[in-house]
Amino acid sequence: MRKIELNKRQEQILQIVKENGPITGEHIADRLNLTRATLRPDLAILTMAGFLDARPRVGYFYTGKTGTQLLTENLKKKKICVKDYQSIPVVVNESVSVYDAICTMFLEDVGTLFVVDGTGILVGVLSRKDLLRASIGNQELTTLPVNIIMTRMPNIAMCQKEDPLIEVADRLIEKQIDAMPVVKETSKGYEVIGRITKTNITKAFVALANDD
Ligand code: ADP
């Protein structure tokens, strides 16, 4: 779930319920000179987002929760998912040289590359230090293929787009890695569809703090 932005009418509804709740949808509509039907989508959003609660035969009342409280709750209840914060993955073929992988890392401005085979299936991961380690040896970097030095399957920590972001953050810390590929399972293996890094997690963290 992303930062909750309320429109002007939703802010008005919130104010009315704060001051007059519990209040029925009918009465809120009367105060705004609108029909109940017009208000329905706004009331649904405010209720789903947790700002308002509705009780049958009583009406709407204000939950008293701020945007930050609601976002934190959503994070804990695991409603914030990988797909809300993932970035575009940068992949290289397993046959490219370490030299070319280093160039790609600089050009694409990422810290982790995902390695795929000829059919686009995930076979490895390359971190900055994997490439540095290979570079300080006396190796010919233009002819050394990345599949010699990469971390390979089945040792790759992966996630899926519906996974809760908090669980992915936990695994990044536990495994002491900077990034994870977001994958989709196919009959041939795992296809890389995204990338979650510590930067994405930091962005989520900042979004939580800024939202009030
Ligand atoms: P760096 O090595 O630059 O500090 P990381 O901490 O991400 O970056 O990587 C540490 C090691 O873990 C590297 O050898 C890398 O290949 C490996 N690694 C990185 N990401 C993953 C992952 N998602 N799954 C398994 N191994 C990984």
pLDDT digit string, tens, across residues 146-198? 999 999 999 999 999 999 999 999 999 999 999 999 999 999 999 999 999 99
- Is the shortest distance between the CB of 178 and ligand 1 below 6 Å? yes
| 8-65 maps to CATH 1.10.10.10 | yes
54-67 per-position pLDDT tens digit? 988 889 999 887 76
For the domain 82-208, what is the CATH code? 3.10.580.10
| CATH 1.10.10.10 residue ranges for the chain | 8-65
| CATH 3.10.580.10 residue ranges for the chain | 82-208
Q: 52: closest CA among 41, 65, 39?
A: 65
Closest Cα to atom 10 of ligand 1: 177
87-146 per-position pLDDT tens digit? 999 999 999 999 999 999 999 999 999 999 999 999 999 999 999 999 997 779 999 999
Q: Is there a contact between 54 and 39 (Cβ–Cβ < 8 Å)? A: no
DSSP H or E stretch at residue 170: helix 165-175
Please choose from 98, 113, 115, 125 the residue to mutate so as to test ligand 1's pocket, defined by most ligand atoms within 8 A of CB.
125
**Beta-carbon-side half-sphere exposure of residue 211 (alpha carbons within 13 Å):** 22
Going from the Cα of 151 to the center of ligand 1, the distance in angstroms, rounded, reads 7
Residue 3: pLDDT over 70: no
User: What are the distances in angstroms from CA 182 to CA 77, 81, 117, 178?
Assistant: 21, 11, 16, 13
Angle between helices 198-210 and 67-76 (to 10 degrees): 140
Report d(CA 8, CA 12) in Å as an integer.
6
- Reported residue count of the chain is 212
* 157 Cα nearest atom in ligand 1: 24
| 199 CB neighbour count, 10 Å cutoff | 15
Report d(CA 16, CA 37) in Å as an integer.
17
The DSSP call for residue 4 is -
